[in-house]
Amino acid sequence: MVAPKLSLLEAAGLIGHASAVIGVDTGLTHLANALKVPLVAIYTDTDPHKTGVVETAQATNLGNIGQCPSVDEVLGALQARQGWQ
């Protein structure tokens, strides 16, 4: 699902109730991680070792500068996240 334009508070509520999040290098992926929502964060223009989310059993980073993960890689990583059904 792609959400419509939301305020930060509305976005936090939506993310907090999500069963999982797949996102790009934005503050909203970090918010999903802080809310302990199963998460795959995708990086293609920045180095996730420098700006990525803190990796946990629920969250992982994929990609790197000039490296776009495949759909299968993203879905596989999401399926491996703790708490995702």
For the stretch 26-66, pLDDT in tens is: 899 999 999 999 999 999 999 999 999 999 999 999 999 99
Fold of 8-79: Rossmann fold (3.40.50)
Q: b or e along 51-80 (b: 16 or more beta carbons within 10 Å of the residue's beta carbon)?
A: ebbeeeebbbbbbbeeeebeeeebeebbee
Q: Using pLDDT thresholds of 50, 70 and 90, give the confidence band for residue 85.
A: low
Q: Span 66-71, mean pLDDT?
A: 96
Q: Domain extents for the chain?
A: 8-79
pTM: 0.88
Q: How far are the Cα atoms of 14, 15, 22, 24, 64 from residue 3, in angstroms, in the given order?
A: 9, 10, 13, 14, 25
